[in-house]
Structure 1
Amino acid sequence: MGEILGVSVLSSKGTVTIPKKVRDLLRLSRGDLIIFKLTDNGDIVIKRGDEIE
């Protein structure tokens, strides 16, 4: 298993804050599209929207 890059709490409105370390690594800015992908082994991968396969 990889390094834990941060922790977030789900708000009552269903939103989370992406930790700064993750935003920096993904080069995310306000308004960027984020993709959540389910892998075959059940993990969820987060990618920048411009990395759509």
Structure 2
Amino acid sequence: MKNMEKILGISKLTTKGQITIPKNVRELLNLKPGDIIVFVEKNGEITIRRSELKY
């Protein structure tokens, strides 16, 4: 069975290079203010993950 992609949200890049993570994505990943996220590149695609690291 072929994997289906599901678009969870869309964000616009600001002039400072920032994006807003959509609320439903923050809830799905259980992201809270101050949490660290990791951007991972594989085969030309980027995924984001919640990190266990804390500052």
Q: Same fold (TM over 0.5)?
A: yes
Identity across the alignment (%): 52
SS of 2:20's equivalent in the other structure is: coil
TM-score by length of 2: 0.82
Larger radius of gyration: 2
**Off by >2 Å, runs of 4+ in structure 1:** none
The structure 1 residue matched to 2:18, chosen from 3, 6, 15, is 15
Structure number with higher helix proportion: 1
The answer for unaligned runs of 5 or more in structure 2 is: none
Name stretches of at least 5 consecutive residues in structure 1 with no aligned partner. none
TM-score normalised according to structure 1 size: 0.85
| Cα distance in structure 1, aligned partners of 2:32 and 2:44 | 27
RMSD (CA atoms): 1.4
Q: CA deviation at 1:42?
A: 1.3
Matches of 2:11 and 2:49, distance apart in 1: 17
Residue 46 of structure 1 is matched in structure 2 by 48
